[in-house]
């Protein structure tokens, strides 16, 4: 990979999966290659966290990207606290209310809240972010459906 080393460094620095895939195919055609752009992107971000010659800001961003996608990072342990201060992990939340009015409690309200919570979990399993309007819409639909049936 000697003749492509500066181009590969540039595509890792610039996070260019298309160029990386072309370089891998040209330099090592007999070796396995990433099957998708996403796989190439994962490899690039992992390589960034591993490279001591890469700017720290880029290494930290790649560490956060890998962490957010549930993937391992090669960032050394002594740099992780700084990376996590620069790119903190965002935790999403959803508020669930039964809509039954003030002062009402009991099994019915808990059942309504459970139906709404299940709707949130279904949306999350379908790949929707908690901030996606689909989540709120689905929660309200499930609440109305449950109240009609009860």
- Structure token digits, residue 10: 């540039």
32: left (phi over 0), alpha (psi -120 to 50) or beta: beta
Burial 87-99 (b: 16+ CB within 10 A, else e): beeeeeebeeebe
Is 0.85 surpassed by the pTM of this model? no
For tokens 């002594």, what's the residue? 78
Residue boundaries of the structural domains of the chain:
2-86, 107-149
pLDDT in tens, 54-83: 999 999 999 999 998 889 999 999 999 999
In which band, very low, low, confident or very high, does the pLDDT at 105 lie, cut at 50, 70 and 90?
A: low
Q: SS3 helix, strand, coil % of the chain, rounded to 5?
A: 65, 0, 35
- Residue 49 in this model has a pLDDT that exceeds 70: yes
């Amino acid at each position: 990979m000697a003749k492509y080393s500066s181009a590969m460094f540039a595509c890792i620095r610039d996070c260019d999966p298309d160029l990386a895939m072309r370089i891998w195919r040209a330099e090592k055609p007999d070796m396995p290659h990433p099957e998708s752009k996403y796989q190439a992107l994962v490899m690039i971000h992992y390589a960034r966290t591993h490279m001591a010659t890469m700017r720290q800001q880029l290494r930290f961003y790649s560490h956060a990207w890998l962490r957010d996608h549930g993937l391992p990072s090669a960032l050394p342990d002594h740099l992780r606290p700084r990376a996590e201060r620069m790119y903190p992990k965002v935790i999403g939340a959803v508020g669930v209310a039964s809509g039954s009015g003030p002062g009402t409690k009991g099994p019915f309200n808990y059942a309504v809240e459970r139906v709404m919570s299940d709707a949130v979990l279904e949306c999350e399993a379908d790949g929707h972010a908690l901030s996606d309007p689909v989540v709120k819409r689905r929660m309200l639909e499930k609440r109305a459906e449950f109240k009609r049936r009860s």
